[in-house]
């Protein structure tokens, strides 16, 4: 039993970092727009040095009132924050080549951002993909580009993690191959496996091996081709979600140099008058569309971490973006940057569903049994996946022919499919397309991901998700009101290869029905179902059924300016002297992975770049530095109470 006044003191201690509109200071060294996955990594790292002041401006709430829903891993499916006020609830415009449907684009609107609502899969990209990203920038700035090479980026991804192996029983039941070698040991993010494992998962690795995708012996270590029952962002000390707020922010909230202002949306960046690259002097914000606009000054830099929708949106409302878009929206143009909001790519996915022959996690949840209420059960998340390349889908000759067909189609696609007249954006489309066609598709890199889902009562589902889309879309503002959501048009299936690859992915998934032992879990197929047989049937079905895997990226792409880039290799926005974008919007193309793991690494690497560029001390030690006796005291307090309560939810 812990006396309530102790808990109260702990809350007050942790709450020190929160400020209100009345208590926010006039200026900070750095203003971070967006307290999401990336923004909170930056907040922690930039305040390691107590002399540097940082304000995080977050449009959503702190999430304290919904902590239970955030912290329960299985809540990702059953009681999550999706479709609540803590979700931006974006929707695309109707997609003409995807059944004229509008797609939901959920994004977390809460401290932690989408890391508070995501499905917790930790899947890193392959070495070839990361190096291909660095290659896109090396002609502009070889030294800066090398920060995004596997050699330098992989350690940044490891730095975020503390890995705990799965329990023996979980390893046995799930037939899990894991390796501690490919994980960090001292980082803030807790990486582990659920407290229980469903029996169906045990059949995954052997069946996928029979289909030519053997289990990865070093998952997340540079190649993704094969199968894995992977790790998730789970804190095994209490079976809660590990995410950027719990891992990076809460332990440092007591720092006197860190301030967090929630429920405050940045509406535009304020610039000094002048010629040459514009200098940001601060950020305007408001708590509601009609609320008063206030300004906080930034002495050193403004860092935009609003995510794939929020970051291009605020740039455009600040006058930085495509001229025609800003003119139509009634926003004064300050810097013409045609790539803002362009190059949008996403992972599409579709499920094959069978009736289950044995109890699923969804059945257990529905039963409401005592077991269903245990923390161990509630920590269960899907994590069995597999990755297949073109050769696995089409055979050796077929893959070579398909890849050549794609590569040969570059000019034709660039002349028809780019949603912009800008020469630079078209060059960017070509650079991205060329990378996918000639550096990804002709290698061992995956183009399809398979994902096992056991969270629906009575059903077993396996998704086929497109990993390297050739379709590129855009998002743009059509009003000068920053509280109006941007128009999102990903142009799904605009390149026909995307549909062909997904079709072959669905065929591969269906082959599981003939493949023991996993097929013992599968009854009659209910989706696409027995009427969907021919290639044409499957394609028609996909057009009406595909949904997003929630991995949109690239709306502020890191590319040369001549190729419609928005940021350079140091993440600086072109044409601005002291503004960077640090979040998932900067990847120039999709990786065969989930976006979160690389984005933690991106934010770690960005912190080092920002500190170095500003001649501030970088964090040489792995993990979070402990800068003062006061903070040490705070950590001792919080650890003591967390351990006493037996619920160390917030302690990494």
Q: How far apart are the first and last CA of the chain?
A: 23
Angle, helix 496-510 to helix 535-545, in steps of 10 degrees: 110
308: left (phi over 0), alpha (psi -120 to 50) or beta: alpha
Q: Is 1 a catalytic residue?
A: no
Q: Cβ closer to ligand FAD: 108 or 601?
A: 108
246-275 footprint of ligand FAD as x/- string (CB under 6 A): -------------------xx---------
Query: Minimum Å distance from CB 583 to ligand FAD?
Result: 3
User: Which range, of 1-9, 110-118, 250-258, 453-461, touches ligand FAD by CB under 6 A?
Assistant: 110-118
List 71, 92, 115, 345, residue binding ligand FAD (CB under 6 A)? 115
Kindly state whether residue 345 participates in binding ligand FAD, applying the rule CB under 6 A: no
Contact between residue 60 and residue 262 where contact means Cβ atoms under 8 Å apart: yes
Nearest approach in angstroms of CB 543 to ligand FAD is: 23
Helix (H, G, I), strand (E, B) or coil at 640: helix
133 lies in the binding site for ligand FAD (CB under 6 A): no
**Which CB atom, from 117 or from 417, has the smaller least distance to ligand FAD?**
117
> Does 584 contact ligand FAD by CB under 6 A?
yes
Strand-pair category, 280-286 with 265-271 = antiparallel
Is 346 an interacting residue with respect to ligand FAD (CB under 6 A)?
no
Minimum distance, C-beta of residue 147 to ligand FAD, in the bound complex (Å) = 18
Residue 594 annotated as catalytic: yes
Q: In terms of CB distance, is 38 or 280 closer to ligand FAD?
A: 38
Position among 599, 605, 607, 638 found at the interface with ligand FAD (CB under 6 A): 599
Q: CB within 8 A of 481, min separation 6: which ones?
A: 289
Interface with ligand FAD, residue 392, by CB under 6 A:
no
d(CA 16, CA 47): 14
Peptide bond into 517 cis (omega under 30): yes
Tally of CA atoms within 13 A in the half-sphere of 571 that contains its CB: 28
Shortest approach of ligand FAD to residue 561 CB, angstroms?
Answer: 22
Distances (CA, A) of 348 to 88, 208, 470: 20, 21, 11
Site string for ligand FAD, 56-75 (x = CB under 6 A): -xxxx---------------
- Candidates 115-123, 217-225, 327-335, 634-642: pick the segment binding ligand FAD (CB under 6 A): 115-123
Figure out which of the listed residues 10, 69, 107, 570 binds ligand FAD, where binding follows CB under 6 A: 107
- Quick one: 82 or 331, whose CB is closer to ligand FAD? 82
DSSP 98-120: TTTBPPEE--B-BTTGGGGTS--
CB of 59 to ligand FAD, least distance (A): 4
Do residues 195 and 381 lie in contact, with contact meaning Cβ atoms separated by under 8 Å?
no
Count H helices and E strands in the chain, helices first.
20, 24
At 14 the three-state DSSP class reads helix
17, 36, 188, 473: which one binds ligand FAD (CB under 6 A): 36
Q: Which residue is nearest to ligand FAD (CB)?
A: 36
Q: Report the Cα 643 to chain-centroid distance in Å.
A: 31
Residue 236 lies near ligand FAD (rule: CB under 6 A): no
Candidates 33-41, 96-104, 136-144, 617-625: pick the segment binding ligand FAD (CB under 6 A). Answer: 33-41
110 labelled ligand-binding: yes
- CB 248, CB 305: distance < 8 Å: no
Binding mask 293-322 for ligand FAD (x = CB under 6 A): ------------xxx--x---x--------
551, 570, 572, 580: which one binds ligand FAD (CB under 6 A): 551
Q: Give yes or no for residue 388 binding ligand FAD (CB under 6 A).
A: no
Q: Which residues neighbour 342 within 8 Å (Cβ) at sequence distance 6 or greater? A: 322, 419, 420, 422, 425, 428, 472, 474, 555, 557, 564
Closest to ligand FAD by CB, 119 vs 642, is: 119
CA 589 centroid distance within chain: 13
What's the closest the beta carbon of residue 438 comes to ligand FAD, in angstroms?
A: 26
Cβ distance to ligand FAD smaller for residue 36 or 215: 36
Of residues 240, 262, 167, 181, the one with CA closest to residue 216: 181
Instruction: Return d(Cα 105, Cα 171) in angstroms, integer.
Output: 34
Cα angle at 519 between 516 and 521, to 5 degrees?
Answer: 130
Gap between the Cα atoms of 182 and 329, Å rounded:
47
Could you list the active site residues? 551, 594
Binding site residues, as ranges? Answer: 110
Binding site residues for FAD, as ranges? Answer: 110
Which residues of the shown chain bind ligand FAD in the complex (CB under 6 A)?
Answer: 33-39, 57-60, 82, 106-109, 113-115, 117-121, 265-266, 305-307, 310, 314, 550-551, 583-584, 594-597, 599
């Amino acid at each position: 039993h812990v006396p309530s006044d102790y808990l109260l003191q702990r809350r007050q201690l942790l709450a020190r970092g929160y400020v209100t509109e009345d208590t926010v200071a006039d200026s900070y060294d750095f203003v971070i727009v967006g307290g999401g996955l990336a923004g909170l990594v930056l907040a922690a790292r930039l305040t390691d040095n107590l002399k540097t002041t940082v304000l995080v401006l977050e449009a959503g709430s702190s999430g304290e009132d919904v902590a239970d829903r955030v912290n329960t891993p299985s809540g990702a499916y059953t009681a999550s924050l999706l479709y609540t006020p803590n979700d931006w609830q974006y929707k695309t415009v109707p997609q003409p080549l995807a059944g004229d449907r509008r797609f939901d684009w959920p994004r977390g609107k809460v401290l932690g951002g989408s890391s508070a609502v995501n499905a917790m899969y930790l899947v890193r990209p392959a070495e070839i993909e990361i190096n291909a990203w660095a290659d896109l920038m090396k002609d502009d700035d070889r030294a800066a580009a090398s920060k995004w090479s596997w050699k330098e980026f992989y350690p940044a991804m490891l730095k975020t993690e503390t890995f705990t192996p799965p329990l023996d029983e979980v390893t046995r039941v799930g037939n899990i191959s894991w390796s501690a070698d490919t994980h960090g040991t001292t980082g803030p993010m807790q990486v582990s496996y659920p407290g229980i494992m469903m029996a169906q998962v045990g059949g995954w690795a052997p069946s996928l091996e029979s289909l030519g995708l053997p289990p990865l012996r070093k998952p997340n270590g540079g190649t993704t081709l094969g199968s894995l029952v992977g790790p998730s962002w789970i804190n095994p000390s209490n079976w809660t979600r590990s995410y950027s707020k719990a891992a990076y922010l809460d332990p440092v909230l007591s720092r006197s140099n860190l301030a967090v202002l929630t429920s405050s949306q940045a509406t535009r960046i304020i610039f000094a008058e002048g010629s040459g690259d514009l200098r940001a002097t601060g950020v305007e914000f408001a708590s509601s569309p009609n609320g008063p606009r206030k300004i906080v000054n930034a002495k050193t830099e403004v860092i935009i971490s609003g995510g794939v929708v929020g970051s291009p949106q605020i740039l455009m409302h600040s006058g930085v973006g495509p001229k025609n878009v800003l003119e139509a929206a009634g926003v004064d143009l300050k810097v013409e940057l045609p790539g803002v909001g362009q190059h949008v790519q996403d992972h599409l996915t579709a499920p094959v569903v069978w009736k289950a022959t044995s109890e699923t996690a969804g059945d257990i949840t529905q039963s409401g049994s005592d077991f269903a209420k245990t923390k161990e059960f509630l920590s269960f998340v899907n994590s069995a996946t597999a990755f297949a390349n073109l050769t696995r889908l089409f055979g050796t000759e077929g893959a070579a022919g398909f890849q050549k067909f794609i590569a040969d189609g570059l000019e034709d696609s660039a002349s028809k499919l780019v949603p912009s007249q800008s020469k630079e954006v078209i060059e960017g489309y070509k650079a991205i397309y060329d990378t996918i066609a000639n550096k990804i598709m002709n290698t061992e890199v995956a183009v399809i991901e398979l994902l096992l889902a056991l969270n629906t009562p009575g059903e077993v589902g396996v998704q086929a998700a497109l990993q390297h889309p050739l379709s590129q879309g855009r998002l743009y503002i059509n009003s000068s009101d920053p509280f109006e959501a941007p128009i999102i048009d990903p142009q799904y299936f605009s390149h026909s290869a995307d549909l062909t690859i997904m079709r072959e992915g669905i065929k591969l998934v269906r082959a599981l029905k003939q493949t023991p032992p996993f097929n013992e879990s599968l009854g009659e197929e209910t989706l696409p179902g027995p009427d969907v047989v021919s290639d044409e049937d499957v394609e028609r079905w996909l057009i009406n059924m595909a949904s997003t895997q929630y991995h949109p990226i690239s709306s502020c792409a890191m590319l040369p300016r001549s190729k419609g880039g928005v940021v350079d290799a140091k993440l600086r926005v072109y044409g601005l002297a002291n503004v960077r974008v640090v979040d998932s919007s900067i990847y120039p193309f999709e990786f065969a992975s989930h976006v979160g793991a690389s984005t933690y690494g991106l934010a770690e690497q960005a912190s080092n770049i920002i500190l170095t560029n500003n001649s501030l001390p970088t964090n040489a030690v792995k993990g979070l530095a402990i800068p003062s006796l006061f903070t040490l005291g705070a950590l001792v307090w919080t650890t003591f109470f967390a351990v006493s309560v037996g619920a160390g939810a917030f302690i990494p």
